[in-house]
Chains A and B, each alone.
Chain A
Amino acid sequence: MLVSGKGLELSTPNGKPLTQAFDLSLNAGEMLVVEGQNGTGKSTLIKGLLGRTGVLRGHLELNVPQASIAYLPQQQNGAFHLPLSLRELIEITHGRRHCLHEHPEYALLEPHQWELSWNTASGGEKKRALLIRALLYHPQLLILDEPYNHLDKESCRAITQAIFAFLQGGAGRGVMIVSHENTYWQERDDIPVRRLSLDHVRVPR
């Protein structure tokens, strides 16, 4: 089992409880989809798993080294001061040793899209580049926070395909996703998907 939690409770950084106790588990080869309305603590759960102190209580077993976890948070919009292309985004993270064509992850972007500036790329192009960046860490556990926000259907499908390919690309891998969208998981029957709804355990405000 990659992640196992019993009697977990979430709270805000200043101690205000967000949820009652709940359990979660994620096995290798599985995807865990964390669902819930705004403010239920979905993103807080991820931050707690990744080691942010004071937001997660209970018994948590994380059987993946921190270095083998790739996390793609929700990104802030706005213009980056440095004139960064999408190709350079990968290069500053992973170095220039990566030849684009050698990695199947790169197929998420068309060749001409690699030279686009970060500041002029569309939301979908940025998200795909960020997902490639996360996948190239070759993680055991991939954690994505709202990867479908503000994306068109084509981008959503491409991202879902990349997630499935990642899961099936090696043994011992798992994916955890926080998402409002729940339609894309039904496209494939061969990927076991667990669901955790925080709506059922939320503490009323």
Chain B
Amino acid sequence: MIDLLRIYYANIVAGCLAAAALSLIGCQLAARDRSMHTLCVSQGMMFGVLVGIVLFGDARTSLPYITGLLMAIFVGALTEWITKSVVSSISSYFVAFFLLILAGNHILGSLFPSVSSHLTQVFYGDLATVSAEQSWTSSVVSAAVLALLAIFHRHLSNQSFERFAFPEDASLLSSSRIKPWLRAIEVSLFLYLCYAIQVFGFLFTISSLFVPTVFLSLRRGRPGIYRHLARSALVMGLAVGIGLPLTLSFDNLPTVPTVATVAMLLAMLLP
């Protein structure tokens, strides 16, 4: 076990930092009711990468990442347009939209066998297969994002509240008018989300975003936004710290589903 931990030390650190950062982003996305948008954007990112691999070749070049990012931006804009234009049953639109992109991914995987292995890897993700170099790079990026989220958590939470309480007027409110730099932070977080999907996979990213915040919010108790944010980050960081070594010890345990299950249990049981 100690040997395994020595080998996968970088992966565990990278996973813990990414999970904590993603869980804090997830709190804000859930507060803005953007979970369905995020599912669609994540699938769009994967579709764009697959198209990039088909067009430009190997996944290691940066071109597929750029096509993935462009597709994510396109899908993000489309989901925002749907939100503003459609008045009824928005979640049904998103489910249909998500399934269409998912179908597109599988059609590409079937038509071009060269991308099917990439599709499987990115969809389920596996923290143990992330290279050491990528682990250290992502650790630095995730630590920077965590710092950004910690410094600006108050402003981001305020924006989330305004978008929830005043969805049509949020851009006219005082805080939005005098803090346009928050936009830049939100764009950075969007880019990080796309990056996380490519490095850690769709399932890990979505689980980290929504499992801790959703299960923590099911618990009754005194209100406390700061406590909720801190707990979300702690739960998801611990889930990787416990879940990943567990799957390294038991070959039959899949990494990301185990981490997600541990996160759910921690969120429900943490004192």
The answer on a CB contact under 8 Å between B30 and A88 is no
Most buried by A among B167, B172, B213: B172
Closest residue on chain A to residue B177 by CB atoms: A66
Contact with A along B197-240 (1 / 0, CB 8 A): 00000000000000001000100011111111100000000000
Which secondary structure dominates where chain A touches chain B? Answer: loop
List residues of A (85-123) whose CB comes within 8 Å of B's CBs.
Answer: 85, 88-89, 91-93, 95, 115-119
CB distance from B120 to the nearest CB of A (A): 32
List residues of A (45-65) whose CB comes within 8 Å of B's CBs.
Answer: 47, 50-52
The answer on a CB contact under 8 Å between B174 and A69 is yes
Does B147 interact with chain A (Cβ within 8 Å)?
A: no
Does A76 interact with chain B (Cβ within 8 Å)?
A: yes
The answer on a CB contact under 8 Å between B223 and A67 is no
A47 to B167, CA, bound (A): 13
Chain B residues with CB under 8 Å of A134's CB are 174
Identify which of B31, B166, B172 contacts A75 (C-beta below 8 A).
Answer: B166
The answer on a CB contact under 8 Å between A115 and B223 is yes
A115 to B225, CA, bound (A): 12
Does B91 interact with chain A (Cβ within 8 Å)?
A: no
How many pairs of A and B residues are in contact by the CB < 8 Å rule? Answer: 89
Contact with B along A106-148 (1 / 0, CB 8 A): 0000000001111100000000001000100101000000000
Does A82 interact with chain B (Cβ within 8 Å)?
A: yes
The answer on a CB contact under 8 Å between A92 and B173 is no
Contact with A along B151-177 (1 / 0, CB 8 A): 000110110110011111100111101
Chain A residues with CB under 8 Å of B166's CB are 73-76
Number of interface residues of B (CB under 8 A): 33
Chain B residues with CB under 8 Å of A115's CB are 222-223
The answer on a CB contact under 8 Å between A117 and B223 is yes
Chain B residues with CB under 8 Å of A47's CB are 169, 172
Identify which of B154, B165, B223, B229 contacts A95 (C-beta below 8 A).
Answer: B154
A87 to B204, CA, bound (A): 34
Identify which of B27, B154, B169, B174 contacts A82 (C-beta below 8 A).
Answer: B27
B binding-site residues for A, Cβ under 8 Å: 27, 30-31, 33, 154-155, 157-158, 160-161, 164-169, 172-175, 177-178, 213, 217, 221-229
**A–B pairs, 7, beta carbons within 8 Å:** A71-B173, A81-B31, A81-B33, A82-B229, A83-B227, A85-B225, A88-B225
- Identify 18 new A-B residue pairs, CB closer than 8 A, beyond the known A78-B164, A81-B27: A50-B172, A73-B173, A76-B166, A76-B167, A80-B165, A81-B31, A81-B33, A82-B27, A82-B161, A82-B229, A83-B221, A83-B223, A83-B227, A84-B161, A84-B225, A118-B223, A130-B165, A139-B174
